[in-house]
Every structure is written in structure tokens, then in C-alpha cells.
Amino acid sequence: MGVRHAVVAGGGIGGLAAAVALSRRGWRVTVCERAPALTGIGAGIVLAPNALRALDSIGLGPEVWAGDALPGPVGLRTPDGTWLSRSDSGAMSTRYGLSTRAVHRGFLIDALAAALPPGVVRLGVSVAGVDDAGGAVVVRTSAGDLRADVVVAADGMRSVLRGQLFPRHSGLCHAGEAGWRAVLPGAGLPPQQATETWGRGERFGVVPLVDGRIYVYATTVTGPGAQPADHHAELTRRFGAWHDPIPELLDRLNRRNPDPVGILHHDFHELGSPLPRFHAGRVALLGDAAHAMTPNMGQGGCQAIEDAVVVAHLLARDTDVPAALAAYTKARHRRTTRISRRSRRIGELARLSHPLAASIRNLAVRATPRVVTLRALDTVLGWHPPSGPAPTPASVNVNVNINANVKEQP
């Protein structure tokens, strides 16, 4: 058998991670990315221990472990600064064996792209559809047809290939919120802690990145399509009286500053109901194309990286591509569905806007022991990538691998 060919639709984090994982397992890979350049949007991503382990399994551990872990206490606060829940980052690192890193998405995109052989990524090339002929797949692209042994559809939450493979699925639904994101320079600011502040139907998050910059985000309950005329003014109106350092961070977002910062604004969407499976024939769906979820657990990108590692592992083991992809669905569907539902429930709590409901929520969060909170994360953050001989399709189980010595961090 010659070298097998994989076409990856989409050059985001999940698609590039799949390309790296497949190429390092002997596949010839072509990544089709419709954008003219590989650029991470102006936002951060929190790489939890499960994602760090996955990246390490494909040789990218040193690249993403550089820099400091999230410093100090990590947790939830109220708008006046009162802590609702707090976890020491050192204790969490002891529990999980790895410390969470927060990096700019552009940094991670660059690290993944640099790990690929030259010529793998084709920019400005979009994928319009696939024809699965049984022994191979014909990929219809804007630059002509490609033949592949497998296609990895990592083309995002509005996936063209998902729509082709599952035309009767209900697709995306609005999650009831919209959000702002930005990355600020950290120079001149005191050291920041990773916190999320919950108000009534509003949230503000602060995440220090390993390069010294600060990732900030905010959310509010809204219907689809609402667009403030002035994002900075809207953020100041909603959050300007909240606890320090939020007012100072908002001041740095001011568009009249000499060094303006771009503010991203977007509605939250998710797949309201799970797909029946993550594959069809020789095509596998990955990341947001397979299980678009709300950002409330910070696991969307982490789960895409897990997907990439697992699908490459199973394809390397089994020359029967459809069987390997069936095993991929078995390995990933239940886990990602549970995480997606859990993320949705957290969002429902955070969106509570009635004063009494928000007060009861805050009391419940404050009364929950820290050890209970940590244990609840074990099944998410305790995941380990498959290693050694891949399991048979009948016994695939890569969801959790925890024993008394396993340590992680949320």
C-alpha cells in the first residue's frame, strides 16, 4: 500500500492539529483553508491539561508549555469583588499533574502550522463538498478536485460538509448570549489573576496570557443579531462600575487610545442537539463541525484537539478507514455530548438575571466545597490521549484514564 492521503477541510486549531497528528503517523496531508492567511483571531485560548496532554502526544508539548501557568487564585467573583469560588492554581496542578496555560490563538495556530511539512496548507482554497466513491473520496474544492483516502471536516460551526452529510439535522441554534473579546497589552498593569465575574445576566472574564498580554471577554443576555453602535461605550455602561481591575482594563479598550485594541463581538451559537454520529463513510467531522458548544467551560478548542489526536490514532491503526471512523465516533460522541450539555447548563446559571435567582445561585456556588468542584472536573480534565496499540473498534474507550496518581487542573 502506498502512502495514504488525507484532506483536511479547515485550517483552524482542530484542523491543523489533525494535520500534524496524521502527518506524524505517516499520512500525506493536504489542508484546505479558505482564508488567504493562517491567523488566529484576536482572542486567547485556555489550554487545560487534557488539551496539553493531547498536544504533547503529537510532539508539541514544549512549544505550548513555555511560559507561566495561570497565576494565583482562579475562580468566580461578584461585581463588587467578593469571591464566590476560588481554587489555588498550585493545588490544581498537584491534582492534575499539569498547569493550565493561556495563550493567544495566533500563537497556537503558528505552532501547529510550523510543525507541518512544507506545502501541506493550501490557502485561499475552500471545500464545497465531497463524493464518497467507496474506495476513495473526491473532494470538491475551489482549486479543483482532490482524491483522498479520508477527509477530516474541520470547517467550523457553520460546516458545509456537516450540512451535506446530515441535511436533516437541525443545525446551529442561538445560545441566548452575545460576547465581546479582546487582547490587551499588560505593560504597566499589576499582575493579573484569572477570574470570571458573574452579575445578573452579564459576565466579565480576565485571563493573563503567557506572553504578558491580557485576554478579556464579556457576555450579556441578548437575542440574535443585536449589534451595539459603540462596543466600548456599551462595555463601559455595563461593566464600568464593577470591581478592579475591570474599569482600568476597559479604559485600555478605549478606541481613542494611541494604541487602539480591536474588540470582537459575536453571538453565541451551539448545536442544540447532537449529531447522530461524527462520521459518514470516509469523512470524519471534528471540533465545531461535529459538536459546536458554548464557551462556558473553555473546552471547545480543547475538545477539537482531543478529536484530532484520537482520529489520527485510530486511522493509523486500521487500514479500513470507515471502520476506524466508526471507532472515532464511539470514542468521541458521548464525551463531547456530555461536555457540551454541561457547558450549556453553566451558561444557563450564569445568565440568571432576576435578583432573587442570581442571589440563590451565588449562595449555592459559595457553599460548594472546593474539593467537590475539583472532583466534578476530573472526567473532563483527567482525559489522556490513546497510546500504544489502538483499541479495537468494539472496545474503544479513550474518555477517561484516571487513577490515584493522576493529577490535573481546570
CA within 13 Å, CB half, 18:
34
pTM for this one?
Answer: 0.91
Q: What pLDDT is recorded for position 136? A: 93
- Determine phi and psi for 76, rounding to 5 degrees: -110, 145
Q: Which three cell numbers stand for residue 342?
A: 454541561
Cell 503558528 locates to 110
Q: What pLDDT is recorded for position 259? A: 53
The three-class DSSP label of residue 111 is: helix
Closest CA to 60 of 106, 100, 117, 113: 113
Number of CB atoms found within 10 A of residue 204's CB: 25
Closest CA to 73 of 65, 63, 83, 60: 83
Q: Using a CB cutoff of 8 Å and minimum separation of 24, what contacts does 204-208 make?
A: 204/239, 204/242, 204/246, 206/245, 206/246, 206/249, 207/44, 207/46, 207/70, 207/102, 208/70, 208/71, 208/102
Please list the ranges in the chain whose pLDDT falls under 70: 1, 65-68, 71-73, 89-91, 255-261, 388-410
393 secondary structure, DSSP code: G
pLDDT by residue (tens digit) across 255-296? 555 455 689 999 999 998 999 999 999 999 999 999 999 999
CB 133 within 8 A of CB 15: no
Q: Any idea where the domains of the chain sit in the sequence?
A: 5-173+270-382
273 secondary structure, DSSP code: S
Cell 492539529 locates to 17
CB 46 within 8 A of CB 86: no
Q: What pLDDT is recorded for position 129? A: 97
Sign of the CA dihedral running 32, 33, 36, 38: negative
Q: How far apart are CA 4 and CA 30, in angstroms?
A: 11
Does domain 5-173+270-382 fall into CATH 3.40.190.10? Answer: no
Q: What pLDDT is recorded for position 404? A: 26
Q: What pLDDT is recorded for position 393? A: 38
334 secondary structure, DSSP code: H
Q: How far apart are CA 53 and CA 383, in angstroms?
A: 8
Calculate the alpha carbon distances from 256 to 253, 259, 262, 297, 351 in Å.
Answer: 9, 8, 12, 33, 31
Q: What pLDDT is recorded for position 255? A: 57
Pairing of strands 144-148, 137-141: antiparallel
242 secondary structure, DSSP code: S
Q: Which three cell numbers stand for residue 187?
A: 505593560
CB 222 within 8 A of CB 255: no
Q: What pLDDT is recorded for position 260? A: 55
Contacting residues for 320 by C-beta, under 8 A, at least 6 apart: none
